[in-house]
């Protein structure tokens, strides 16, 4: 009896410590993202990169790199099927979170910060550009889901298609001319009193922020896994429901920061660009190193991701995009979460 009480007390202490660590990790991720978005905007200006490409390519690549590495390690260097399943789950869970929760958070932040924003609750974006980004994602993601239903010789070689697709997307985005002006940017955090900060300091700040984002994100994921274990959450639930929320946290917080600054183009571009990376690079790794066969949960994740993006596409085509309609995208993630426990 005494031993049982002691174990319960220790378990409670572990939970408190883990929750505090999670909270600290979120705080570090947020302020690291502040440094990152500030640095990446200055990199865009210094190297004459278009504002849209800063969000869809540079910021997306930087924040998606940690989870791509996690997926690579899970599928390439782990012999157990459970670990490989976690890698595949992460490759499917990432786009689900971005296509639902991330867009919902962006819409919610527009509503929350409307009194501080110059445009209030209005959304200032290029609807055609965002629509094209979603069409790119949709066409690739459909192929990715279909592969999860098929078994055939040479299936692993289709991984090359996803890498080539992202290369074309990258090339297309980087060809757009730069539209940023220095007065549109906040001073560089590492050189706040310099109107034209040194390139070396800009790069140093961006790399430092990426290291912090990566380290704090990994800390968040590890402690989320501890909570999953304490709550006896199955691995496939953790990989599809919980882990993606952690690994996509930098993209979500980037959106919060840019929306607060009135830069919806960068916020939504970062989400759509991250979705393109998630639909290609981790997928290519999963397809090459695993059988890439979906169970009902993976199919459900893929199906609800597609429905959410189609919903956003229809909204964009009708010029009806609003903060509230972005928030509604989060309902598709809620449906997915509820389906696990029904």
The length of the chain is 342
Measured distance CA(74)–CA(217) in Å, rounded: 16
What pLDDT does 60 receive? 82
Among 25-34, 44-53, 205-214, 327-336, the least confident range? 44-53
What pLDDT does 330 receive? 96
Measured distance CA(175)–CA(185) in Å, rounded: 22
Measured distance CA(301)–CA(337) in Å, rounded: 10
Using the predicted structure, report yes or no on whether residue 180 has a pLDDT greater than 60: no
Question: Phi then psi for 310, rounded to 5 degrees?
Answer: -65, -40
What pLDDT does 10 receive? 53
Burial class (CB in 10 A: 0-12, 13-18, 19+), 118: exposed
CA end-to-end distance (rounded Å), the chain: 35
SS3 content of the chain, % helix, strand, coil (to 5): 80, 0, 20
Q: Quick one: average pLDDT of 20-36?
A: 86
CA proximity to 56, closest of 173, 157, 160? 173
Residues 266-298: tens digit of each pLDDT? 889 889 989 999 899 889 988 998 899 998 889
Using the predicted structure, report yes or no on whether residue 4 has a pLDDT greater than 50: no
């Amino acid at each position: 009896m005494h031993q049982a009480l002691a174990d319960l007390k220790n378990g409670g202490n572990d939970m408190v410590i883990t929750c505090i660590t999670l909270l600290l990790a979120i705080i570090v991720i947020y302020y690291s993202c502040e440094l990152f978005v500030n640095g990446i905007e200055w990199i865009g200006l210094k190297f004459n990169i278009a504002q849209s490409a800063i969000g869809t390519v540079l910021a997306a690549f930087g924040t998606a790199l940690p989870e791509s590495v996690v997926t690579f390690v899970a599928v390439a260097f782990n012999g157990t099927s459970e670990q490989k399943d976690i890698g595949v789950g992460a490759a499917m869970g990432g786009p689900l979170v971005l296509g639902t929760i991330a867009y919902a958070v962006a819409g919610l932040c527009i509503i929350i910060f409307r009194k501080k924003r110059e445009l209030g609750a209005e959304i200032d974006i290029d609807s055609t550009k965002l629509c094209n980004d979603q069409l790119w994602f949709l066409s690739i993601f459909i192929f990715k889901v279909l592969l999860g239903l098929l078994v055939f010789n040479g299936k692993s070689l289709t991984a090359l298609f996803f890498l080539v697709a992202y290369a074309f997307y990258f090339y297309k985005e980087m060809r757009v001319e730069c539209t940023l002006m220095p007065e549109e940017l906040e001073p560089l955090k590492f050189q706040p009193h310099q109107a034209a900060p040194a390139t070396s300091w800009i790069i140093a700040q961006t790399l430092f922020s990426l290291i912090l984002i990566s380290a704090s994100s990994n800390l968040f994921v590890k402690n989320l896994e501890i909570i999953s274990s304490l709550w006896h959450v199955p691995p496939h639930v953790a990989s599809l429901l919980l882990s993606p929320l952690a690994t996509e946290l930098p993209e979500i917080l980037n959106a919060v920061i840019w929306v607060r600054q009135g830069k919806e183009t960068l916020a939504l571009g970062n989400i759509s660009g991250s979705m393109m990376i998630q639909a290609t690079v981790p997928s290519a790794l999963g397809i090459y190193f695993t059988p890439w066969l979906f169970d009902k949960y993976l199919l459900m994740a893929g199906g609800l991701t597609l429905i959410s993006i189609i919903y956003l596409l229809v909204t964009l085509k009708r010029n009806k995009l609003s903060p509230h309609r972005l928030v509604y995208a989060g309902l598709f993630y809620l449906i997915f979460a509820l389906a696990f426990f029904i």
